[in-house]
Structure 1
Amino acid sequence: MSIQPDHRIGKNAMQLVLLEEEEHLYGEKLKEQGFQFCLGKTGSMETQKVVAAIETAAKRSGVISPDGYRETHALYHAIMEALHGVTRGQVQLGSVLRTVGLRFAVVRGKPYEAETEGEWIAIALYGTIGAPVKGSEHEAMGLGINHI
């Protein structure tokens, strides 16, 4: 049940979210390896708006199916895990006077050699978090991985 070295889904999601000028080249590499992905940006003082933006992008791009519950459920758990990293374990924003400005990458694929391990989804978040005052924010990053 070993992970294929170039199929580490979390590492691929983090690299994709951090790239800006070369993301299209990296994206081609991911497609060649059988991964699906999407990229986007979101910012808000409300956690539900961040979750909704990522979920909408994943559905519109075809990374997850808009029908059914299983894929959306897996995506939700990966998003919440990634938000724990960004918010340092307290997934609260506006209620504690914090706001985020984030880039996100959603990557779906088969990181394991064994077909029986199935598909997984990873969410990488990178950006800023802080008081809703320009210049009061700092960098933050989060990663969430879940099986589908």
Structure 2
Amino acid sequence: MSKLAIGKTAILLASFTEAEMAFFQDTLKGVSYCLGKVGSMNMQKVISAVETAAKRHGLIHPNLYRETHALYHAIMEGMEGVTRGHLSIGEMSRTVGLRFAVVRGTPFSDEEEGEWIAVAFYGTIGAPVKGSEHETVGLGINHI
């Protein structure tokens, strides 16, 4: 994966099947990332699932506000893509079933630009009736 493409890396990771992950595993050496899944009609559960995964995998330091804050904004930006700009799910009788990836890195060739975090979602959104959902994707990137 390219050093300059933490967003692309996050999107690919969120959308890979298990078989695809196995195929690309060697190209991920040295990439700081975590993966997870969440399904809910509650936006707070989506946010919490991503934050918990990032903390458990050491992608953010839980005691540093700026890191948690950067992750939160990347999550919200990614969810805007998932929800087509209407940051609500349950209140609009929508449910999501999402895989997500969080990638942390230095996407600029100038190291002085610092670290950034990308959050990508891939999955489904729709009415809370099986078979009434469609694919969706979202990406958020924020500086730490």
TM-score range, shorter chain: over 0.9
How many angstroms apart in 2 are the aligned matches of 1:26 and 1:13?
13
The answer as to 2:53 corresponding to 1:44 is: no
Task: Give the one of 72, 77, 80 matched to 1:76.
Answer: 72
5 Å-filtered alignment, 1:94-133, equals 94-133=90-129
Match of 2:27 in 1: 29
Match of 1:144 in 2: 140
Which amino acid is 1:26 matched to?
Answer: F
Change (3 A) 1:47 1:13: same
Which amino acid is 1:52 matched to?
Answer: S
Match of 2:57 in 1: 61
Match of 1:15 in 2: 12
Point out where structure 1 has 5 or more consecutive residues left out of the alignment: none
- Give the structure-2-normalised TM-score: 0.94
How many angstroms apart in 1 are the aligned matches of 2:26 and 2:143?
23
Task: Give the one of 71, 76, 88 matched to 2:84.
Answer: 88
Point out where structure 2 has 5 or more consecutive residues left out of the alignment: none
Q: 1:48-101: per-residue Cα shift (whole Å, max 9, x none)?
A: 000000000000011111112010000000000000000000011111100000
Pairwise CA RMSD of aligned residues? 1.5
How many angstroms apart in 1 are the aligned matches of 2:25 and 2:119?
15
Partner SS for 2:120: strand
Contact 2:3 / 2:106 at 8 angstroms: preserved in 1? Answer: no
Q: Indicate the percent of aligned positions where both proteins have the same amino acid.
A: 62
How many angstroms apart in 1 are the aligned matches of 2:87 and 2:93?
12
Deviation at 1:27? 4.5
Which amino acid is 1:84 matched to?
Answer: E
Change (3 A) 1:24 1:59: farther
- Give the structure-1-normalised TM-score: 0.91
